[in-house]
Amino acid sequence: MDWTIWVEWLIKSLFVVFALLTGFAYLTLYERRALAKIQVRIGPNRAGWQGLLQPVADAVKLIFKEELTPAKADKLVFFWAPIITMVPSIVIAAVIPFGPTTTLFGRTIVFSVANINVGVLFLMAVASIAVYGIVLAGWSSNNKYAMLGGLRSSAQMISYELSLGLGFVTAILLGNSMNLHDIVDAQRNVWFAVVQPVGALIFMIVTLAEVNRAPFDMPEAEQELTAGYHSEYSGMKFALFFMAEYQKMIAISMIAATLFFGGYREFWFLKDTFLSVDAIWNIGPWQFQAWFLGPIYMLLKVVVLLFFMIWIRATWPRIRYDRLMSFGWKVLLPLSLAVVFISAVGVLVAQQFDNNWYLAIIPIFSSVAGLVAVGFVDQALRRKSYASH
Amino acid sequence: MSQYINPSDLTTILPAIVLTVWACALLVADLFIPHERKGWTAVLAALGLVVSLDITLIQAGGTSTGFKGMVTLDGFSTFLNALLLVSGLFGVALAYGYVRRMGLERGEYYTLLLFSVVGMMLMVQASDLIVVFIALELLSIPLYVLAALNVRQIESEEAGLKYFLLGSFSTGFLVYGIALIFGATGSTSYSGIVTAASAGTSSLLLTIGAALLLVGFGFKVAAVPFHMWTPDVYQGAPTSVTAFMSSGAKIAGFAALLRVFALAFPTLTADLTPILAALAALTMIGGNLIAVSQTNIKRLLAYSSIAHAGYILMAFVPYGNPQVMPVSVAAGLFYLVAYAVTNFGAWGVVIALEKQGGKGLEISDYAGLFWKNRPLALAMTVFMLSLIGFPPTIGMVGKFYLFRAVIDGGFVWLAIVGVVTSLISAYYYLRVVVNMFMQEGEPQTGSEFWVNFTWGLTALMTIIISFVPQPLFAWASSAVLRLF
Amino acid sequence: MSIDLILFLILAVVAVATALGMLLSKNAVYSALFLVLNFAAIAVFYLLLGAPFIAISQVTVYAGAIMVLFLFVIMLLGAETLAPSKVLRGQGWAAFGLAVVLVAETVYLLVSRHAAVGVIARPDAFLNTMDSLREIGKALFIQYLLPFEVTSILLLVAMVGAIVLTRREKGG
Amino acid sequence: MVDISYYILLSAVLFTIGAVGVLVRRNPLIIFMSVELMLNAANLAFVSFASMHGSLDGQIFVFFVMTVAAAEVAVGLALIVQIFKSRHSINVDEMNSLKG
């Protein structure tokens, strides 16, 4: 191992961390402005041009705020909980590819911090330990509201993790690999969101629950639990939770983009044009691959996906907790199982006949399954016994 | 021939597959059976057991291996699977009225029982330690749940928890033992182990592994000194569950142990025989001595079952001696039948006398039973005599075969320990009998057809087989011979 | 001392220390957290031993699911601190004896087998083991098909069991 | 290059700590965690031996042990929750409705 690989790793890691941190800062602004527009308000526009310096102002405020630690709190865990929440939200981005493999300065560069072949499993592992921070924050605060928030979040995240994992399985089946680079490359011709629309939809619903966003933001439902697991947090420690939430949003959008929306690859109508990430540009004496388009496409897709999250927050009421749980277990989980089964059958049939058009049975049958599920929910809601056990 | 699965794989474990599918279907069917008619679930469960038993008997005489050598079908497995399925039937019969009377009636009771039987059958057929491990869990987990089923009685829940904690503790030993065996031989299949072991590599790791395996199984079959959980669990669990698990789990545990030791560890005789002999002696002495001071019939029978684990363990002691071994294993199998039949009968009588809230379980509650309900008292007498090993009962015949095998194997002292402890046991078993005949009392007995049927049938079997033991013993012997 | 050995020793110290921490903590939450750290250390060992799939499964299953459930139950029941340990019926001595025996055994194992056991080949590129992943998949569905299927039944039974235990029948 | 016997030694030490934990602690949750530690020690031994033998079989076994552990946890925690609901105490010492 020569020293250049360390330099490469360092640069890539710094890039990812930097992207997430600035992304977080401007996502807050983005959200506030977008929410304001939806609610016909103006939103923060005073600090700097169009409020672009607002995140800086927020940061200064949070840093100088007094930090309180409840007297009967478990000091050690109370201190570590925000950090434990924060770290997975950054680490999870390590395996996400943000550009095609290319040759730069005579070296082959892979555009992800860690190009591991069990990348999807890595995502699963990190997603599954993300719950610790919230649970521990809730417990260590020695506050009933915080505790209930922590309990709710752990139950909610564990429940929705099943459907999340099945969403990963769908992508693995279609991409025939657990390596995220391979999965992205397999979407060269058609996005998995097109092949498996129901799977993509389930995945996006589940990610909302995994990052505790509206309408699944039970752990911090203010009418019921004050501020949930971070009721007792203030100052920088609160800022860490805040950061973690928005970074998770970004990371999970990146994952959704990678698994279902072609990741860093160009949009389908740009295939084989000079705007494709595989295109070779000739500018004067230089000839190079347009790899730098990869991060740009990724950014575009992430921004759109984030907008959907914000849009949902602006327009949807919070779901009642018992309904949230029955929705996860009784609707999403069976539907995800059906979707995985249909995908597996479709892939198998396509392989048997060696004709990718047979993959068309996947969207057809899974849409039927999805409609059946919607029908069941509708029936249950009509009978008003949806929540009863 | 597919590389994944072949018809011969399926036929090898066909009875278990049928029972599994039946249990899954029953799980669904139970949803449509109204709460007042849960008896139907029991009937359907019994039907499944009968179908599976039918297939087992049709398959009798066939031998095959399946699933890449993971399971074996042979005379040994047929014999024990039949015994396990009959135990399952007795388990359902005893539960049928009991769970309703005690207010425990839930459809899942029977489903879990069926799954437990599937685990036992797989354990009997396993020829790879990985299957032994998973089958053991499959038989145990339903039993943990069933033991804790009576949510109205804290004893039941505590029994479930204790059983669970000790059970998973013993699983830890089992898994570590398998890990060491795998390390020593590079394989978990019996044939792989024996191939590697006879090549003479690293026998120390293998010995430690086998010893840890023995510890793990020791917990499951309740051998002293791994028996601490038994009395509490047997007492706390609903009696119908206790009856089933004291027979079924023990049969499956001993069957797997027999197969593992006979097939995988023939090279370890020198190291393991003394341990086994000591274990058997300790179990007989310990179980019988503590039983003397018991006043609760469930605890008494619990210690009695510990003591009988000791007697069955005697069958293992000469396993390294190729001349004696077939006979001793046959004796072990015969004794398992004797124990199962007698045990179900005795627990059936206990169920007939048990009242709501754990009443009617003291030995003094049996006072005067003979004058109140003669058939029941006579049946109980038969079972007590059989547990002692007194003629004319199946227990006597079983002990006779066992002691003969052990003496043939050159362990006269062990046979003497067996006889002496049997004499000790006569004291406490006869105390129950004396209570029934000589004391004054007003015992209340329930009368449910299937419970009566169970104790009646087992009492008849206990006596009849003792007069004509040869066919059964011949079957057991042939079963054993096909093991090799 | 090679770098590998130093790494091993550091991790081994972490693993043993966290295991002891689990054992000695008064507070069940701390016990659970120590155990999580222990599982993480063991996951790193799996990586060193060239088993990345197992390592990641370890994190997902043990740290991500099992221990979260433990924490959940501890918090739900408020069972953080129960009465201090009382040693019952000579179990302490039994434990001490067991510990001595097992440690003696392992030391003996170490000394006696030191010559016989092999040295692990350095798992060169543990990052690139898609092949081993495929191999594991194939092994599960060919050689170990039966245990795999039985495991699914086992999970079903566990699920039914847990529901039977925690959910009372209506009116029951 | 670490000698495989170090790994086995480590796994034996962890197994012992787990076994001692089961015997000396009275809180069923901690007993249960100790059991999990024992299973993990066995898993470590399995993976070490698999790497020594150069075979995947040991890793497969670990996979099964993990699944079984998950099943056990589901049932075990359900039992503990159930007892707690009816007793509000889960200390094994206080379980004296059954004599020792």
Quick one: DSSP state of residue C62? Answer: I
Considering only residues 66 to 95 of chain D, which have any Cβ-Cβ distance to chain C shorter than 8 Å?
66-75, 77-82, 84, 89-91, 93-94
Q: How confident is the model at residue A24 (pLDDT cuts 50, 70, 90)?
A: confident
- Residue B175: list chain D partners with CB under 8 A: 38-39, 42, 65
3-state secondary structure of B219: helix
**What number is the ipTM of this complex?**
0.90
Residue ranges per structural domain of chain A: 3-388
State CA B480 to chain mean position distance.
18
B169 and D82 within 8 Å at the Cβ level: the answer is no
Q: Return the pLDDT at A283.
A: 77
A100 Cα to chain C: minimum distance (Å): 18
When CB atoms are compared, the residue of C23, C88, C144 closest to D20 is C23
Long-range contacts of B55-58 (CB under 8 A, 24+ apart): B55/B14, B55/B15, B55/B18, B56/B15, B56/B81, B56/B82, B56/B85, B57/B82
If one compares B432 and C106, the residue with the highest pLDDT of the two is B432
When CB atoms are compared, the residue of D31, D72, D97 closest to B154 is D97
Check if the beta carbon of residue B65 is closer than 8 Å to that of residue B76: no
Give the whole-angstrom CA distance, residue A248 versus residue A49. Answer: 27
Q: Return the pLDDT at C94.
A: 62
3-state secondary structure of D3: strand
Which subunits have 3 or more CB–CB pairs within 8 Å of chain D? B, C
Considering only residues 12 to 31 of chain D, which have any Cβ-Cβ distance to chain B shorter than 8 Å?
15, 18-19, 22, 28, 31
Q: How confident is the model at residue D100 (pLDDT cuts 50, 70, 90)?
A: very low
- The residue among B144, B149, B155, B165 with the most chain D CBs within 10 A of its CB, best to mutate, is B165
Alpha helices in chain A (DSSP H): 3-38, 54-64, 75-91, 119-129, 131-140, 144-175, 180-186, 192-195, 197-210, 222-225, 235-260, 293-315, 321-326, 333-353, 361-383
Exposed/middle/buried for residue A130 (C-beta within 10 Å: 0-12, 13-18, 19+): buried
CB atoms within 10 A of CB A367: 14
The DSSP bridge pattern shows strands B71-73 and A280-283 to be unpaired
Exposed/middle/buried for residue A189 (C-beta within 10 Å: 0-12, 13-18, 19+): exposed
When CB atoms are compared, the residue of B159, B179, B232 closest to D45 is B179
State CA B419 to chain mean position distance.
22
B4 and C141 within 8 Å at the Cβ level: the answer is yes
3-state secondary structure of A253: helix
Closest residue on chain C to B226 (Cα): C94
- Residue C171: list chain B partners with CB under 8 A: 35
Kindly list the structural domains of chain C, giving each domain's residue range(s) and its CATH number in brackets, ordered by start.
3-166 (1.20.120.1200)
Quick one: DSSP state of residue A108? Answer: E
Long-range contacts of B62-67 (CB under 8 A, 24+ apart): B63/B482, B64/B8, B64/B11, B64/B12, B65/B12, B65/B127, B66/B6, B66/B8, B66/B9, B66/B10, B66/B11, B66/B12, B66/B13, B66/C146, B67/B5, B67/B9, B67/B12, B67/B13, B67/C145, B67/C146
If one compares A78 and C95, the residue with the highest pLDDT of the two is A78
Q: How confident is the model at residue C122 (pLDDT cuts 50, 70, 90)?
A: very low
Give the whole-angstrom CA distance, residue B6 versus residue B318. Answer: 38
Check if the beta carbon of residue B300 is closer than 8 Å to that of residue B432: yes
Residues written for chain D:
100
Q: Return the pLDDT at C82.
A: 54
pLDDT < 70 positions in chain B: 1, 200-202, 481-484
Which region among A254-258, A338-342, A364-368 has the lowest average model confidence (pLDDT)? Answer: A364-368
Q: How confident is the model at residue A52 (pLDDT cuts 50, 70, 90)?
A: confident
A161 and C64 within 8 Å at the Cβ level: the answer is yes
Q: Is the pLDDT of residue C66 over 80?
A: yes
Residues facing B71 on adjacent strands: B66, B126
Check if the beta carbon of residue A128 is closer than 8 Å to that of residue A160: no
Q: Return the pLDDT at C126.
A: 40
Q: b vs e for D62-82, b when ≥16 Cβ sit within 10 Å of the residue's Cβ?
A: bbbbbbbbbbbbbbbbbbbbb
Q: b vs e for C100-122, b when ≥16 Cβ sit within 10 Å of the residue's Cβ?
A: eebeebbeebbeebeeebeebee
If one compares A386 and A198, the residue with the highest pLDDT of the two is A198
Which residues are CB-contacts of A351 (< 8 A; sequence separation ≥ 6)? none
Which subunits have 3 or more CB–CB pairs within 8 Å of chain B? C, D
Whole-number average pLDDT of chain A: 82
Of B64, B57, B77, B80, which is closest to residue B11 (Cα–Cα)? Answer: B64
Average pLDDT over residues C71-92: 63
A333-353 helix and A197-210 helix, angle to the nearest 10 degrees = 140
3-state secondary structure of B71: strand
3-state secondary structure of A319: coil
CA distances (Å), origin A66, targets A234, A238, B226: 7, 11, 58
Residue ranges per structural domain of chain B: 268-484
Considering only residues 306 to 335 of chain B, which have any Cβ-Cβ distance to chain C shorter than 8 Å?
none
Q: Does D26 reach chain C within 8 Å, measured CB to CB?
A: yes
Q: How confident is the model at residue C118 (pLDDT cuts 50, 70, 90)?
A: very low
When CB atoms are compared, the residue of C36, C56, C167 closest to A122 is C56
Considering only residues 116 to 145 of chain C, which have any Cβ-Cβ distance to chain B shorter than 8 Å?
116, 141-145
Give the whole-angstrom CA distance, residue B189 versus residue B167. Answer: 24
- Residue B205: list chain C partners with CB under 8 A: 109, 113
Identify residue A268 by its one-letter amino acid code. W
Check if the beta carbon of residue B239 is closer than 8 Å to that of residue B300: no
Which residues are CB-contacts of B47 (< 8 A; sequence separation ≥ 6)? none
Q: Is the pLDDT of residue C120 over 60?
A: no
When CB atoms are compared, the residue of B148, B176, B188 closest to D41 is B176
When CB atoms are compared, the residue of D45, D53, D58 closest to B176 is D45
Report the C-alpha dihedral over residues B32, B36, B39, B41, rounded to 10 degrees: 20
Give the whole-angstrom CA distance, residue B288 versus residue B100. Answer: 34
Q: Return the pLDDT at C147.
A: 92
Place of tokens 């109204």: B34
Average pLDDT over residues A17-45: 85
Whole-number average pLDDT of chain B: 87
B179 and D46 within 8 Å at the Cβ level: the answer is yes
Place of tokens 């003094």: B364
Check if the beta carbon of residue A92 is closer than 8 Å to that of residue A113: no
Which subunits have 3 or more CB–CB pairs within 8 Å of chain C? A, B, D
Average pLDDT over residues A243-247: 87
3-state secondary structure of A263: coil
Place of tokens 């039973």: B369
Run of H or E including B195: helix B190-198
Which residues are CB-contacts of B12 (< 8 A; sequence separation ≥ 6)? B64, B65, B66, B67, B71, B72, B73, B125
Residues written for chain C:
172
Of D54, D11, D35, C113, which is closest to residue B207 (Cα–Cα)? Answer: C113
When CB atoms are compared, the residue of C142, C150, C171 closest to B4 is C142
Q: Is the pLDDT of residue A121 over 60?
A: yes
Whole-number average pLDDT of chain C: 76
Of B276, B460, B478, B243, which is closest to residue B348 (Cα–Cα)? Answer: B243
Residues written for chain B:
484
Q: How confident is the model at residue C110 (pLDDT cuts 50, 70, 90)?
A: low
Of B458, B462, B440, which is closest to residue B370 (Cα–Cα)? Answer: B440
Which region among B202-211, C151-160, D66-75 has the lowest average model confidence (pLDDT)? Answer: B202-211
Run of H or E including B346: helix B325-353
Give the whole-angstrom CA distance, residue B308 versus residue B343. Answer: 10
3-state secondary structure of B392: coil
Place of tokens 């222990």: C38
Q: Return the pLDDT at B190.
A: 85
Quick one: DSSP state of residue A308? Answer: H
CA distances (Å), origin A44, targets A36, A41, D23: 9, 10, 62
- Residue B129: list chain C partners with CB under 8 A: none
When CB atoms are compared, the residue of B137, B180, B232 closest to D68 is B137
Give the whole-angstrom CA distance, residue A153 versus residue A162. Answer: 15
- The residue among C73, C108, C113, C141 with the most chain D CBs within 10 A of its CB, best to mutate, is C73
Q: Is the pLDDT of residue D94 over 70?
A: no
Q: Does C106 reach chain D within 8 Å, measured CB to CB?
A: yes
Give the whole-angstrom CA distance, residue D48 versus residue C51. Answer: 10
Of D38, D36, D46, which is closest to residue D4 (Cα–Cα)? Answer: D46
The DSSP bridge pattern shows strands A280-283 and A286-289 to be antiparallel
Q: Return the pLDDT at B308.
A: 92
Of B270, B483, B131, which is closest to residue C145 (Cα–Cα)? Answer: B131
Check if the beta carbon of residue C56 is closer than 8 Å to that of residue A178: no
